[in-house]
Amino acid sequence: MPDETNLSYDYTLTIDMSNELDISFKTNSYELEPSSYPYIDLLLNWLNERKQLSVEIRGHTDNVGSASSNLILSKNRAESVRKYLIEKGIDPKRITSKGFGETKPIESNDTEEGRQKNRRTELIIKH
């Protein structure tokens, strides 16, 4: 039987914050909507209770507009969430941000409903 004291565990959890946490931005902007702050504060409290975790904020867009503009927008949106969490006390070493633009859709961009689902922010939690 292996010695369980020497085992280590690593996991990654992806949370689509657009469903569980209403993180929204002004149209074509990386400025957070004021209604988003209570949801990000829930995330903040959760992270403060789990100091061993690090997180990556990932921004995504639909395919409306140019690919380069969408990439920049997604990076800036993810960074807006990151900066807010840092301003509220999360150690910057625990949190990173990435933008993927329109490159990782989860639905078809052929309908408004699909595009809306593709405009999302994800939180990747790492132990």
- CATH of region 10-126: 3.30.1330.60
Q: Tell if the pTM clears 0.85, that is, is over it.
A: no
- pLDDT score of 48: 94
- pLDDT score of 24: 83
* Residues in the chain, pLDDT under 70: 1-21
Q: Which residues make Cβ contacts (< 8 Å) with residue 110, sequence separation at least 6?
A: none
Both tokens assigned to 63: 């395919």
Domains of the chain, residue spans? 10-126
